[in-house]
Structures are given as structure tokens and as C-alpha cells.
Amino acid sequence: MKKLIKSIICIMLTLSLMFGVTFNVSANGMNQPMNDKNTTEELDGYEKICVFSKEGVEQVTSTYMQERESSGDNVEQAIQGVLDLELGSMGYQYIEDACLAELETMSSDMGIVLEEYNVLLPKNRASAPTYYGTYKSRDYYSEITSTSYVRRTVEWDGKFAKGDVIRQWIQNAISLTFCFIDGSPYTIPYTLLTSQFPTGYTVHDESWMDCYCNVDSKNRAVYAKEGNNYILVVNREYGYARPYAVYHFNSTATPTATVEIQFPNYFYADTVVESSKGNVLKMASAIYESGAVAVSYKLYKMVAIRFLN
């Protein structure tokens, strides 16, 4: 049965490349409607093959910690979906290597839920990635290999956002900030929260706020060339971080009421421009020369939401 499923997937993939037909392939080989969260012209040159999609996800609440225990199953299904494509037999071993390394990194991360994973294949049937740059006389190549949609909890640096902290935020005694770990912080206005309060509402000591972030990303893989082979060195994600919070009123009048607060979206840039390639090439060279396994830099790990004095 499994061989039959693999054969069906390979036939679908061949049709996709020949005629531009887009399929959504789950790990069990069934077709489902595709929910495209990465609609940009940048992906026009690729066929998108969805190997995992979690449909009907309920909104995150305080039960998130229970739900996250099943996230590993989602990643395992995505891994199996990639393997079922048998990309190596089609000349896309370099894409399979990047996808599997990315998903293996994800499988060991707690506090995330994988909702969707798509493999990207060049429409021009390129059997090799594109030249990226040269460092220390060695050529490096790159390719956009996948898109994913992940949500995660955001650590609070040991400070849980209960009533007293929230009041300090509203009183401008502290600031709530969003940042990528290698960038400058952005201040999140408290009015995004207070505008959701009922008239005359006061924050209670027992109230609290959970914080989450949806990450809508693409992966750029960087390879070192050895003869005719392309050795994966670095996976680096870029795309949108979409943070939000769930405020729990937890008062006598409304003991279970919650409200969702949408924060601004933030974009983490790609590294195709010359000004940003240097650092990536230097990093790729260091990893390659050391003989270490490929490193996957996940965008959801780059996200930080903190209270600052």
C-alpha cells in the first residue's frame, strides 16, 4: 500500500512539473484544499507541494501547553511527506536534504505547533541550486526550498504577565517590545489592549496575558559545492512574524472571559542582497570548514517579546 501511495505522489509531482498543476499532498497521500499563506511573486518560479497541513486548528488559549505535546507528530508527518516525494530520484536531493534538516531541527523544539509545511521545486527543473557567492575561493549556492507556518509561545524572561505587570505597562512604567534577536526593539502600544476593555474595567491581580507568535516563513538553503555535489551548510528562514496576545480577564464578573489582541506584523528580510550576503557566506564557510553538520536558523527562534523598564 505504501509503495502505491509513493507511486501516486510521484505521478502527481511529475504532472505538476510538466503542466503547472499544483497539488496538496499530505503524509497519507490524500489530496486536500491548499491554504496558501505565502502568496508572493517571489514564489512564482516554484511548484509548491504541501506535505503537511493541520486543518481546523482552534484558537490558542491557556490549553496551549496541552496541545503542544502533539506538535512532534505534525513534524513527523511532514518528514514522512518529504520522504514520500522521493526527491533524490528526481534530481532534487539538495532540496530533500534542506527540508529534512529543517524539520529535524523543528522536531526537537518545544513550545511550537507546525501547522503547514510546503516543499518548493523550481519550475525550470533545475537539478542544481543557484550561485550565491564565493568565500575563501569556494563557491556557495542557494535555493528557496520550503515554506512553513508555525506558531509558538513566547518566553517572558521569567516574568509572567500577570495583573501587576500589565498595570505597569498600561501606566507607562514599563514597555512591551517586540524584536528579532539580532535587531532593534519595536514598542507595542498598550492601547491595543485597553481598547478591548469594557467601559470602566480595571485590571485585576488575578488577570494575566499569554503571548504567542505565528511565523509565516520561507527557507533559504546555502550549499558548498564539492565536485558535482552540493553539500547543505546552512538553512536560514525569513518572512513574517505575526505576534498576538490572549488576555484573561479572570474577574468575579467574567471568570473565564478572554480577548485576543493582534499586534503589528514584522518582516525579517532575506539575504539575497549583496550587503547581507557577506555574513552568511562567512558563517557558511566556518560551518563547512569545521566539518559540522548543517545548521538551521529558524525564524520562530529569532522572535522575542519582552517587558523593558
Expressed in percent and rounded to 5, the helix, strand and coil fractions of the chain are 30, 35, 35
248: exposed, middle or buried (C-beta count within 10 Å: 0-12, 13-18, 19+)? buried
Q: Given this model, what pLDDT does residue 285 score?
A: 96
Nearest to 60 by CA among 206, 243, 302, 189: 243
Average pLDDT estimate for 266-277: 80
DSSP tag of 298: -
Confidence band for 275, pLDDT divided at 50, 70 and 90? low
pTM of the model: 0.79
Query: Contact at 8 Å (CB) between 204 and 163?
Result: yes
For residue 63, pLDDT beyond 60: no
Looking at the predicted structure, is the pLDDT value of residue 33 above 80? no
Q: Cell match 551548510: residue?
A: 233
Task: Count how many Cα atoms sit within 13 Å of the Cα of residue 188 in the half-sphere of its side chain.
Answer: 25
Cα distances from 138 to residues 128, 218, 231, 272, 282, in angstroms, run 16, 25, 12, 18, 11
Q: Sorting pLDDT into bands at 50, 70 and 90, what band is 252?
A: low
Using a 10 angstrom Cβ sphere, with 0-12 exposed, 13-18 middle and 19 or more buried, the burial of residue 247 is buried
* Residue 58: pLDDT over 60: no
Q: Who wins on pLDDT, 184 or 101?
A: 101
Strands 229-248 and 295-297: parallel
Q: What is the pLDDT of residue 35?
A: 36
Question: CA angle, corner 106, sides to 247 and 17, nearest 5?
Answer: 110
Pairing relation of β-strands 175-180 and 229-248? unpaired
User: Average model confidence (pLDDT) for the chain?
Assistant: 80
More confident residue, 278 or 101: 101
- Output the pLDDT for position 80: 96
Maximum average pLDDT range among 19-28, 251-260, 273-282? 273-282
